[in-house]
Amino acid sequence: MLPRPPIMRKRKLNVAVVGVTGAVGQELLNVLMTRRFPINQLLPLASKRSAGKRVRFKGKSLIIRELTKNSFDKIDIAIFSAGGDISSKFAPLAVKAGAVVVDNSSAFRMDKRVPLVVPEINGTDTRKHKGIIANPNCTTAITLMALYPLHKEFGVKRIFASTYQAVSGSGAQGIAELKAQVKALASGRKIKKSIYPHQIAFNALPHVDSFLKNGYTKEEMKLENEGRKIMHLGRFKASSTCVRIPVYRAHSIAVNAEFTKPVSVVKARRAIKNAPGIDLMDDVKNDLYPLALNMAEKDNCAVGRIRTDCAMKNGLSFWVVGDQILKGAALNAVQIAELIATEI
């Protein structure tokens, strides 16, 4: 994991968490606490429905406040994790009030004025912000954690990827639907579907997000579009198929990557081993490779099954797994906030 940067400040910061009751919002509180972010006051914000409820932070019980246009007075950093519509409406208001926004939604990711940041890859891009910094899509972040060290070594040209995405990527409702369907099937009852178009229990759905005219889903196009912006690589190509699987937490991605330079498995392993935030788990003789079960609730991502690709010149195939709620969302957002805190 990328070490916490030294934050040279005489005062601590006022931080707002927007969408604090969601899965990512709850994880944001944990990460802010475990990484000892310099907080003076934490302001938990959510919808009117959740206002008045309480969350715990550093042993204290804090009242959740309703998100309004006046929520950001005296706030230094506002971390948003409440969906694109909320971010589009309220992030500019937070900036106007003087806060720097770290946004977990897709609202600003492809805005040319907004840096899109994975700190281990392009952390210096935070210095270009004009009030908002975007957090990438979870699958993009996890994939690039493995791909970028290899890109620096060999120069990536294009990738083909199949992603296997946990139901928590759909939020708490996705987890609840999987649990309910498993219980129903175990007791011989009819299942109910509301989050997914088909049964998710004991199944695999090649359908994450809505379909586009080109036959890909929005989720599948994010890997190419966001990858180009984060790696500063305008010609980067990525063809992916995103699959929702009945796993509670952690996304897994099978990647076939083509590079501009001749590749070496030895050099690839060395590049991964020396990179921050990514662990090498690659010993097939002892059945060692990353598993979703093992990577859930872990800060680092992990790579295994590194091998020379047999179908393309200068190609490597590998398997990368990461917790999409942590490195794919909350942890990455807090790492961005840490970089901001060194400069406020």
Catalytic residues: 138, 251
**Strand ranges for the chain from DSSP E:** 13-18, 39-46, 54-57, 60-63, 65-66, 77-80, 100-103, 132-134, 156-165, 237-244, 251-259, 278-280, 301-308, 315-322
DSSP string, 210-254: PBPTTS-BHHHHHHHHHHHHHHT-TT-EEEEEEEE-S-SS-EEEE
CB 62 within 8 A of CB 56: yes
Instruction: Give the bridge partners for 269, in sequence order.
Output: none
Terminal alpha carbon distance of the chain: 23
Q: What is the residue whose two structure tokens read 């917790």?
A: 323
